[in-house]
Structure formats: C-alpha cells, structure tokens
Structure 1
Amino acid sequence: MIGAPMETKGLNANRESKPNRSRKEIIEKKKAMDALLKAASAEKDHLSAFPAFRRYQTNGLSAFLESGRGDKLASSVKHYIQNLLKANMEGLYGSEWPVEERVKRREMVAPEARYIFVREASNASASEMSTMSEQESTSASCVEKRGPMVGFVHFRFVIEEELPVLYVYELQLEPHVQGKGLGKFLMQLIELIARKNQMGAVVLTVHRSNSVAMNFYLSKMRYGLRRVMKFFAKHSVMRLKLSWRYVSVSTRNHLRRFIWFNKVVNSTLFTKGQNPAIEVLEWIIQFQQNALIIVI
C-alpha cells in the first residue's frame, strides 16, 4: 500500500521531467547563443585575425580596410555613410526614402553596429603596398597615407530563427570601385568573421528591384534566397516540404519588397531535430548545398 503511491509519483515525475528537460535545454541553448553574441561583439578589431584582408590590390584598385563600430564613428564618417547611402539607395526606394533614411541613420550609430571601412590607397601608398608587410600596413605612417573612403560594410551579430548569425545590414561601394572584385572580397571576409565567431549563417536583405545586387549574391556569392511576405504584423510563415518555419520579421519597413538571403557557414553548432529551422539547415547541408530557395 505504501509502495503504490510512490510508484505512481515516480511515473508522474518521469512524465513531467521531459518538458522540464526541454525547457532547460532551451534556456541553456539561449545562454550559449547569448554568450556567442557577447563574445563576438566584444572583439575590437575583427580584421586582426585576418591580416591578409587589410589590403586589397586587384583589377587596378588599391585599398586598405579598417574596422569600426557604430558608437565610435567620427562626424566626418557619419556624413560619408549618409551621403553614400543616399547616392546608392534613394533611387531604389523612391518616395519611401525619407522614412528609410531615418531608419538607417538610427541603425548606423547603434552600439551593436560593426563596420569594415574601405579606403582607397593614395598613389604613393599604392605603389608601396606590394612590398609592405601586414604590420607595416597598419602602422601610423601608413594610416596617414591612406586615401579617401570609398565604401563600407555594416554588420551585426544577432539571433535569427533561433540561430546566431552575422547579419549584413549594408554593403555600399562607390561606383568607381564597383566591378573590381572588391564586393566579393568583402563578403568573403564577412564569411570568415562569421566562421571565426561560430555564427550559424550570414544573412542579409536586398531590395527586390536592385538587380545588380541580386545578381551579385545569387551568381557570384551563390547565396540562397527566400522570398518573404509580410504576414500579420509580427511574424511570417514560410512552408517547405520538410516543415513549417517561423521567420522573425526584420525591423525594416515594407518587408514585402525585400528578399532575404542566407548562406550556411557552420554546420557543427546544432544537431538535427531541435526545431524546424535547424532541420531545414541540416537538410541543406545533407545535400551539400549552400543555397535554399523558398517561394511563397
């Protein structure tokens, strides 16, 4: 008589342990992801691990790369970013640009914003680049010889679909340095930074009418795309043969007009079966693809 209730209690405890373990796993996973983001964001110079990427000298273009962060931008750099964004993006947004410009200005100076700036080498420093060591290329005298800024990448470390990702907010280059391989060089650097910091993917959004950018990411970078519809106000749902996926909506306005790209850069962080999003990523890896196209 005494043993029966104890046995029943034990069975109940076993039944309750599974959801408890599940909640514990979710909490532990979130803590692990938060730790990854914190460590990645704490890095002062993401170029330091890749000294070969501090210089670019190809197709007649000589340039230096340097790191930055949103809350440390000089006034002159802020003005440069605003002007280049307007020159490159105003035509794509049309009448929506004033609203989008205000959003981009807030994003630009956020503490979590990280930058890779591109400075075109002056004539004197360009001729010296081929003989300079990595240490010499970052010396104070070399910095003084660097020419004007000609582009930048704005990126952040965030959580998307329960994955830690490197999110590229902006990749902007001046017209005269486009078509010289610099964009691909910068995105390869971004992928290396993502891998080093154990991010699950590189993610970005592109305006659908930006045919040049679309071709660049699809053809040259071989990124996968997912067409995203704005669903209600807070979330979108996308269907794949294997599962349903819930996709968090970007804070950007007019999501219908954007296409969301992603490229898997690390397949070791998570195991199959944890949630639908992971299952899809595992499905991509299983078939040795870097691309996934989901059309609603």
Structure 2
Amino acid sequence: MESRNREKKRKRREILEKKKAIDESLKAASAHKDHLTAFPSFRQYERNGLSVHLESGCGDKLSSAEKQYILNLLKANMEGPYGSEWPAEEKVKRREMVASEARYIFARELDAPSASASEMSKTNFAESKGSIVGFVHFRFCLEEDVPVLYVYELQLESRVQGKGLGKFLMQLIELIARKNRMGAVVLTVQKANLLAMNFYLSKLRYVVSSISPSRVDPFTGVEKSYEILCKVFDNKSKALLQE
C-alpha cells in the first residue's frame, strides 16, 4: 500500500512539473515583444519585385491606423469565405486583434520603390515606415496539453499575393515556434477559402489536425465551415494533435 501511494505521489509530481514547465515556456514566449530580434535575416524580403521590411507589434499597442488597416484587410480578404457568418465573426476579430497576448508581424513595403530594404538603415526605416501590405497575428497557447504557436491571421493584400511573401512569413513563424519550444504551429482555415487550403496543405505541408471538427466527428464536422491544420515538431505533439 505504501509503495502504491509513493508511486501515485511520484506520478502526480511529474504531472505538476510538466504542467509548470509548459506554463513557463508559454509565459516566456509571450513575454517577448519582438521575436524578429532572433532572426535578423528575416527582417527584409526582396524577391519577385517586392521590397518589404518586417516589424513586430503587440495587440494592446496598435495605433489607430494599424487597427483600421487590419479591419479593412480582414474584410477585403475574409468577407467572401465567411459569407453570412462574417458580421458575427468580424466582431470577434475586433476583440481578438487588440488583446494583450496578440503578437504581430507587419510587412511594410517601402514608399520609395527605387530604394531597396538592404540599402536603407534602420533609422531610415523608422522615418519612412512604408505602407503595410500584410500581417501575421499569432499567439502562444495550449492545445490538447501541447504548447503551440497559433496563427490567428495571415493576411496579405491581393497585389502582393503569389510572390512568396506568405511562405516567407510562415517559415519565420515556424522558426519562432521552434525557438520558443512550441510543439506545433496550429491555424484555422475556412473550407471555402480554397487558395488558403491549397497553400497550407500542398505548399507548406500542413495536415488536418486530429482536433479539427472533421476528424473529431466526421458526421457533425461536415456542417462546420472550417478545418484546423497543424505542423508538429515532435512525437508527443504528433500523437496529440495529428494522429
């Protein structure tokens, strides 16, 4: 009996220690205000006729102009895929985008097309800013006891789509996730958004997660308008989020 009690205490202690470690990793990841500092080579994107500079942001520090830009781009890109669900979803996104835990990467195109990102100093960037042409909104959270980086939004203006910027941003997101010891990158995609589905499943090799409605219950999943996709980085995360 005594040995059984000791074993129970040991297992309980292990569970608590794992939970504490996960909580600390999420807290540490969320504490970073600028995840780009660890990946300086990703601050610029100069390919396929685009000259873009990346910068970080926080949901509770967004300017009025940034908030309005986010809302405008979300409506332009997502009103169609959401259909009749959009008015309700737009209200949700308004709240989500300004949360203190929301982290952003903004892509700014230089106003002066003759000047490339590599030719300008950080000071010049701060002065010129440049026009935002897209953004990623992400957070660090827990899914099925797995610490994950959850991509809430990846939105690009139509004129810069198809030029590799989306893939570049997702490569950066995966690096940020790995550096912060997350078990996976997770995101939600509307089924009606066929271009996004193809982008994640075919080009980036994400898979439909085991927590997605269509896999939890195929019968009721058919009625849902979205799928949850993931890319896992270790066997434990694979067992809980993919298999």
What TM-score does the superposition give when structure 1 sets the normalisation length? 0.75
Q: Please give the alpha-carbon distance, in whole angstroms, between the structure 1 residues aligned to 2:225 and 2:90.
A: 16
Say yes or no: does 1:263 pair with 2:231. yes
| Aligned equivalents of 2:205, 2:238: Cα separation in 1 | 21
Residues in 2 aligned to 1:226 and 1:115: alpha-carbon distance in whole angstroms: 24
Distance change (3 Å), C-alpha of 1:74 and 1:130: closer
> Does 1:44 find its partner at 2:33?
yes
1:123 to 94, 112, 116: 112
CA shift digits 1:166-220 (9 cap, x unpaired): 0000000000000000000000000110111111111101001110000000111
**Residues 1:31 and 1:14: Cα distance change in structure 2 (over 3 Å):** same
Measure the CA separation in 1 of the matches of 2:223 and 2:217. 14
1-side partners of 2:21 and 2:76: how far apart? 40
1:229 matched to 2:197? no
Task: State the alpha-carbon separation in 2 of the partners of residues 279 and 208 from structure 1.
Answer: 23
Residues 278, 128 of structure 1: alpha-carbon distance in 2 compared, 3 angstrom cutoff: closer
Runs of 5+ in structure 1 lacking a partner? 1-11, 231-235, 240-253, 285-291
Is the partner of 2:35 in helix, strand or coil? coil
Superposed displacement of residue 225, structure 1: 1.3
Distance 2:52 2:169 in 1: 12
Computing the radius of gyration over CA atoms, which structure comes out larger, 1 or 2? 1
Fraction of identical pairs, as percent: 61
2:93 paired residue number: 104
Which residue number corresponds to residue 45 of structure 2?
A: 56
Matching residue's letter, 2:229: F
CA–CA distance in structure 1, aligned partners of residues 119 and 51 of structure 2 = 13
Contact kept in structure 1, 2:184 and 2:232, CA below 8 Å: yes
Q: Distance in 2 between matches of 1:65 and 1:79?
A: 19
* Alignment counterpart, residue 177 of structure 2, candidates 194, 200, 204: 194
Distance in structure 2 (CA, Å) of the matches to 1:255 and 1:175: 29
Unaligned runs of 5+ in 2: none
Secondary structure at 2:181 match in 1: coil
Aligned residues: 239
**8 Å Cα contact 2:44/2:118 also seen in 1:** no
Give the TM-score of the pair, scaled to structure 2: 0.91
Aligned to 2:56, what secondary structure does the other structure show? strand
Distance across 2 between alignment mates of 1:83 and 1:187: 22
CA gap of 1:237–1:219, structure 2 versus 1, over 3 A, is closer
